[in-house]
Structure 1
Amino acid sequence: MAIKVLVVDDSSFFRRRVSEILEKDRGLQVVGSANNGKEAIAQVKKLKPDVITMDIEMPVMDGISAVKAIMAEDPTPILMFSSLTQEGAKATLDALDAGAMDFLPKKFEDIAKDRDEAAHLLQSRVTALGRRRAVRRAAPAAAPTRPTATRPLANRLSSASATAAKPTESKRTAPIRKSGKRYKLVAIGTSTGGPVALQTILTKIPANFPHPIVLIQHMPATFTGAFAQRLNSLCKIKVSEAKDGDMLRPGHAYLAPGGKQMLVDGRDSAARVRIIDGGDKVNYKPCVDVTFAACAKVFGGDVLAAVLTGMGADGRDGARLLKQKGAKIWAQDEKSCVVYGMPQAVAAAGLSEASYPLDEFAERITVEAGHG
């Protein structure tokens, strides 16, 4: 059955363009369109789409207000279209906070080498969101609860249809206990759904956290600075966009800058960040594999690494290098992921020790790293 899509934008040209691209994929069906947020809310009730593409700036009702209303009444995966500007970054992050799952630039040429690549990227993003929606709809029904804007997005979407736990997933039955392993660094990689996941985790990490944290989030260059600032304003620990030469310090999280690659070098007791050009041979900029590999070289097995929600398999090869050095690898469980791609790749390869729900990560990291 085709994934049903609602296209929302105040530009008739852009609505038509997006619709044409989506309908070239036989697995996608555009069931309707809307030219403002208020109309979108009505169309969602009427058409029950599996995925919504949403513009941010629209008359009558803007996209962020529409996202909040839709997630409160009819939780549906939403992909935002945004401009690659500082203002666009802030608005997009606001939309993700409101409940949107993913975003893409409105100018397709900013994300792809040609039209075919851009079309494939849009189709694949919408398909991934639609498949997760289908999994949740097909799962055994649980007691419904009213969604709230403060609950993680994946939990809001699955509140009325929880998926059965996988054999490798955590079932919390006892207090979390430290394994006794020694650490000098925490490394976290993520993509689609990552901004909400990282915020959920990092806002619960205590100010006296004893190790540095490196964060790799697939995100454009104009977004990572704004995202780091937002996290820093919300968290007890310090969060910043990583800069070349930064000394890795305890209680400080370093977010890899978009369009670049983040490495670490030096000795594990005096490691520094190295920021280099992204290069044409690596698909992701920043890339989880690249940073994880650098962490393995400098810190060896003294790393606690986590791979969170995201499309594709970035992080698997880097996790393998860390695992070979004796590092501990965790993955986010399927139920709490927006897209179960990156964590699945790590788990399927036998690299992760366990898969945990998103809402357990902060406590588990805090306890395992020496606090709690």
Structure 2
Amino acid sequence: MQKVRALIVDDSGFFRRRIRDMLTADPAIEVVGEAANGREAVEQVVRLRPDVVTMDIEMPELDGISAVREIMRRRPTPVLMFSSLTFEGAKATLDALDAGAVDFLPKRFSDISVDAAKARQQLQQRVKAVVKGGQGRTPTPASPAARNTATSAAASTTAPTTSSSRGVRAADLDLVIIGASTGGPMALQRVLTGLPANFPVPILLVQHMPANFTKAFAQRVDGLCAISVREAVEGDSLQAGQALLAPGGRHLGVVRKGAGLGVRLVEPREGQFYKPSVDIAFASAAEVAPGKVLAIVLTGMGADGCEGAKRLRQTGAHIWAQDEASSVIYGMPQAVARAGVVDRVLSLDNVADALKRLR
């Protein structure tokens, strides 16, 4: 089997050695080079043609964000960023994702797992996943210019995966709820920026992100959107023209609040991997608003959202999923598609238009 060829970029020699040791512990991964700054990284990407790059953000000569932009211009390659789990670190990481990076991990590995072996395994899995997700598609920045010029390979893919594609009307919905993981921040940004200020149905967003990142992400997207976007807080009321984002490190649930719906935030139990969890949010919506939910599963690793989508579908809810061609990682959408509960499969570029056509 062909090995994944990785380039490690960090100005700390100690950190580069640590990453090398963690990656090469997996026989399926080969480290083909190292770089101490962004300028070296760009040169080595062009010369070595790695399958994946691990990239620090703060470096001399050329920072990680600028390096990602230059890599995407000269030789697009999947990039996995390392980030500090601070509010400022979150903003810088989101800039890197906007520049074209695929995913990110905490730079302090104890933030991934207190178990060193598990942290090593998660790094190895993430590196291989972003390479697999990038095969057959070119990583591109999510800037407005790139969005305007990019052409999706599956722009016309709207075929249902079930026997019939049921129509859905905004008047029949209490809630739209969207779940995503790897590749999700830029996917959500693309969907939400396509919606009008008077979008008639409240929206909940569940994105796998650590604490501190979700607030920064919500603020960032709110500044780009016609609708209001912010991090959810306990007791929030769901309103048309507004999207509420589940805070990192907590689960989001739905409750009845007068004639409408509200937000309930739940502390995770020990052993729960996804915090927030799409499954938990979907299951809560199924219980509180049976048959009156449109759930959308976007790009992401794993299968979070599949069990919740099954529960939603049992109540008569509508389920849409992103297609493989436009997904960074076709894990979560594939899981719900294979479960046979999806009404429509859509290219990412078509999701906002489909939502706008709800009547």
The TM-score with structure 1 as length reference comes to 0.89
Q: Percent identity?
A: 54
Q: Does 1:272 align with 2:262?
A: yes
**Maintained 8 Å contact 1:72/1:149:** no
Residue 213 of structure 2: aligned partner: 223
Q: Aligned residue for 1:80?
A: 81
For 2:131 and 2:258, the matched residues in 1 are separated by: 43
Query: Is 1:359 equivalent to 2:349 in the alignment?
Result: yes
Does structure 2 retain, via aligned residues, the 8 Å contact 1:205–1:366? yes
Which residue of structure 2 lines up, in the alignment, with residue 184 of structure 1? 174
Specify the alignment match of 1:32 in structure 2: 33
2:101 and 2:141 in contact (8 A); partners too: no
How big is the shift at 1:122?
Answer: 0.6
Q: Matched residues in 2 for 1:261 and 1:23: separation?
A: 35
Which amino acid counterpart does residue 170 of structure 1 have in structure 2? T
Specify the alignment match of 1:248 in structure 2.
238
Per-residue deviation, 1:132: 2.3
Contact map agreement 2:321 2:345 (CA 8 A) in 1: yes
Answering whether residue 312 of structure 2 is matched by residue 322 of structure 1, we say yes
TM-score, with structure 2 as normaliser: 0.92
Partner of 2:115: 114
The C-alpha deviation readout for 1:275-323, integer Å capped at 9, x for no partner, is 1112214210000000000111111111111000000000000100110
TM-aligned CA distance change 1:280 to 1:240, over 3 Å: same
Partners of 2:198 and 2:116 lie apart in 1 by: 48
Question: Offset of 1:198 from its aligned partner?
Answer: 0.3
Contact 2:142 2:186 in 1 (8 A): no
**Which residue of structure 2 lines up, in the alignment, with residue 196 of structure 1?**
186
- After superposition, give the CA deviation of every residue in 1:243-283 in whole Å (9 maximum; x if it has no partner): 00001111110100000011111158321101111221421
Task: Tell me which residue corresponds to 1:307.
Answer: 297
Superposition misfits of 4+ residues, deviation over 3 angstroms: 134-137, 146-153, 177-181
| Matches of 2:141 and 2:92, distance apart in 1 | 22
Are 2:69 and 2:141, in contact at CA under 8 Å, matched by a contact in 1? no
Does structure 1 retain, via aligned residues, the 8 Å contact 2:248–2:275? yes
Equivalences for residues 51-70 of structure 1 within 5 A: 51-70=52-71
Following TM superposition, by how much is the alpha carbon of 1:169 offset from its aligned partner in structure 2, in angstroms? 4.2
- The aligned length equals 350
Where does residue 93 of structure 1 map in the other structure? 94
Q: Rate the CA distance shift 1:208–1:2 in 2: closer, same or farther, 3 A.
A: same
Aligned 8 A contact 2:237 2:257 in 1: no
Unaligned runs of 5+ in 2: 161-165
* Structure 2 Cα separation of the partners of residues 55 and 22 of structure 1: 16
Larger relative CO (CA 8 A, sep 6+): 1 or 2?
A: 2
**Counterpart-to-counterpart distance in 2, 1:46 and 1:354:** 42
Distance 2:50 2:299 in 1: 23
Match of 1:143? none
Q: Counterparts of 1:10 and 1:200 in 2: how far apart (Å)?
A: 33
8 A Cα contact 1:37 1:66, kept in partner: yes
Give 2:7's aligned residue. 6
